[in-house]
Structure 1
């Protein structure tokens, strides 16, 4: 057996770890730029708690609260321009995947003094990232706290895509499940489905060859199957919140060592065109992708079906039934109609799909993108 696996992020996981965040941050830097979204962190008091904790330890901080739910390249550039002369020695991203992805763009911009589009649109390779990033996730979804990718939207070209570099791995992740208790059911199910999608896609991906990836994927699918319905019934269920946060973090490990498949590539244009959440777009696409590609990876999909249902899965009918029962348990079964999109929008959406399709076993099939979009209209 031979494989490579890389994970440089130091992790502090558990309820109550957020209270220790100022002390953890102080071991990395004394001049801290905090990056958050526009509303939620202030609403729930998390930003205030963090700033006051840093101040009590004599650690200087500044705050950028300008990150959208679908983070924009222009927001990253605005932050870099504002704080370049202040010269932070560490950036702390507090929030969901949007804040953490923006934080990755910000440490890149502060390091290079270039606009982030240069790297997002592939005009130049990333050669160095000099400023460390600490991630404090407040959703159980993206796993961005333990991977090396950032996903941003260039609003001028209408393209949502990603860039990667080992310097974008957070040097530290402070993962406290208590921070997710305040999530509303809609946010919980959308981010939770992203965990499930990461597990399925990294397992199916042709780049997911390390045995640890398969182990983590199947473990995460079992955790989501059990605990996402529970946390939707009772958002205060801290055991369910713990397990969803753990599954999300595991999928960050997978994303650092494997890749997603067609659903993620196809969701990005939906998110840009409709300004909708990543998880809701994935839910609209996923059944069509599974139905279209099952035969290409039949053995792997059957393993997923068994993890999802707890019963042996031997054919497509049993697999699709397992998926249907899962979506029923979380009360979601979306389509493109949820976004007021139909067949007439498919040519535009397909024209905005970016990134390599080669890691999906079905990626080389002519017309596969349009076929999945078409199936998602039903």
Structure 2
């Protein structure tokens, strides 16, 4: 990345970090069971709600207790269950239309990150009927309050029940983009481990590693606060302790509850401190190929952490010590290596692959441009990379073939060397940015 862009990115991040104490961050109020949802809606005098979910959740009857509680309270329910894995603009518009046609007064997002994203974006379109989703991409493009939004996560991973983000895919261009606005933070959330019991082991694993990615990227970035660091550390500890248990025994409610708590805390951490290139690359892969976000994050996390090289050693090493993966006598490099090794061990234990199928070499320039557009200047990553440099990260997770095995080895070494060179040169950029700010 050229020096001008580096200075711009670091200056932008410095301004955002300085503004953190003055921005209207909030956390959703936690509700007590499905009856608590019904009671809240009665208090708000809301006669009908839109329930945004997907067909898989409906087929497993997970929404039935909530539907019954609402029926008992005399509250009508319109059910939108057409959400797809990477929700599209068409999904959002269909949900919005149902809300309007049926005269709903609130939205309940019931599901994983996809249902949450669809519900948030539908709320944004209800609040801003004349503004298309494509013009809401980026930061603070909604601004107006959404209808009352209640989040009920069925996966312990995305943390969407507490974040200001929604990620939407343009079905025509396959561009996957984030919408970030304080208005998107749900007003209320219900964390019920019972609704996560039916998750298949692989989905438990990948959504759990999604939460791990949120916590780690929030911790090692340059815009942390004492509160976000504490939330990230607690989340990582809970995930290390509880995710393997939940994967092996999906009926363990204690492990499930701890994972929901971990996902919530990780969500509060990255909402303020942001994520990094793991997410930017994962989003581009989801938009282009439909690769599940949690899976992409799980596979990318150790590779990107390693590619950051010495730039991430201080913070990542400190995190490793705080969560008990490394000892106080370990050097930052040793502690970082132990943490990355633990991530690889967890992935292997839970049968998460080391590569992602379907990535095409000819798509890399487009994918990297999308990742660059998402991440820079917003994400306060340890090392700044432009689109050309980001291409190396995709090659690290492409399946090995006779043709690309040597290229992958070169990319891994080159990414680390590039990160070191970039890190060595960025102190000057950061100094300039501070002066400029």
Task: Give yes or no for contact 1:288–1:372 (8 Å, CA) kept in 2.
Answer: yes
The aligned counterpart of 2:344 is 327
1:366 Cα shift? 7.4
Pair 1:155-2:176 in alignment? no
Find the aligned partners of 1:322 and 1:257 in 2 and give their Cα distance.
Answer: 23
Change (3 A) 1:225 1:307: farther
Task: Give yes or no for contact 2:138–2:180 (8 Å, CA) kept in 1.
Answer: no
1:128 Cα shift? 0.9
Find the aligned partners of 2:275 and 2:317 in 1 and give their Cα distance.
Answer: 19
Residues 40-87 of structure 1, C-alpha deviations (whole Å, 9 max, x = no match):
221221223222211111112211111111111111011212332433
Bigger mean CA deviation after superposition, 140-149 or 29-38? 29-38
The aligned counterpart of 1:83 is 99
- From 255, 260, 264, the equivalent of 2:275 is 260
The aligned counterpart of 2:29 is 10
1:258 Cα shift? 1.6
Count of residues paired in the alignment = 372
- From 48, 64, 72, the equivalent of 1:32 is 48
Change (3 A) 1:317 1:367: farther
The aligned counterpart of 1:305 is 320
1:343 Cα shift? 4.2
Pair 1:21-2:37 in alignment? yes
Find the aligned partners of 1:202 and 1:124 in 2 and give their Cα distance.
Answer: 20
Find the aligned partners of 1:261 and 1:140 in 2 and give their Cα distance.
Answer: 20
Bigger mean CA deviation after superposition, 82-91 or 110-119? 110-119
SS of the residue corresponding to residue 67 of structure 1 reads coil
Bigger mean CA deviation after superposition, 365-374 or 278-287? 365-374
The aligned counterpart of 2:357 is 339
Pair 1:369-2:387 in alignment? no
Matches within 5 A, 1:139-288: 139-208=155-224, 210-288=225-303
Bigger mean CA deviation after superposition, 224-233 or 85-94? 85-94
SS of the residue corresponding to residue 33 of structure 1 reads strand
Change (3 A) 1:229 1:131: same
The aligned counterpart of 2:120 is 104
Pair 1:92-2:92 in alignment? no
Change (3 A) 1:239 1:47: closer
Task: Give yes or no for contact 1:32–1:59 (8 Å, CA) kept in 2.
Answer: yes
1:224 Cα shift? 0.7
Change (3 A) 1:242 1:129: same
Matches within 5 A, 1:49-64: 49-64=65-80
Residues 234-277 of structure 1, C-alpha deviations (whole Å, 9 max, x = no match):
11111111111100011121132120111000111111222121
Find the aligned partners of 1:113 and 1:362 in 2 and give their Cα distance.
Answer: 39
Find the aligned partners of 1:246 and 1:23 in 2 and give their Cα distance.
Answer: 23
1:115 Cα shift? 5.7
Change (3 A) 1:29 1:161: farther
Find the aligned partners of 1:265 and 1:29 in 2 and give their Cα distance.
Answer: 41
SS of the residue corresponding to residue 80 of structure 2 reads strand
Bigger mean CA deviation after superposition, 88-97 or 354-363? 354-363
Find the aligned partners of 1:222 and 1:158 in 2 and give their Cα distance.
Answer: 36
SS of the residue corresponding to residue 143 of structure 2 reads coil
Find the aligned partners of 1:236 and 1:48 in 2 and give their Cα distance.
Answer: 19
The aligned counterpart of 2:374 is 355
The aligned counterpart of 2:412 is none
Find the aligned partners of 1:121 and 1:365 in 2 and give their Cα distance.
Answer: 20
Task: Give yes or no for contact 1:350–1:370 (8 Å, CA) kept in 2.
Answer: yes
1:19 Cα shift? 4.7
Change (3 A) 1:115 1:73: farther
RMSD: 2.4
SS of the residue corresponding to residue 242 of structure 2 reads helix
Bigger mean CA deviation after superposition, 224-233 or 105-114? 105-114
Choose 1 or 2 for highest CA Rg.
Answer: 2
Residues 109-138 of structure 1, C-alpha deviations (whole Å, 9 max, x = no match):
122223642434469932312411111111
Find the aligned partners of 1:157 and 1:341 in 2 and give their Cα distance.
Answer: 17
Change (3 A) 1:184 1:166: same
- Superposition TM-score, scaled by structure 1 size: 0.90
- Which segments of 5 or more consecutive residues in structure 2 lack a partner in the other structure? 1-17, 399-407, 409-437
Change (3 A) 1:39 1:82: closer
Find the aligned partners of 1:103 and 1:288 in 2 and give their Cα distance.
Answer: 32
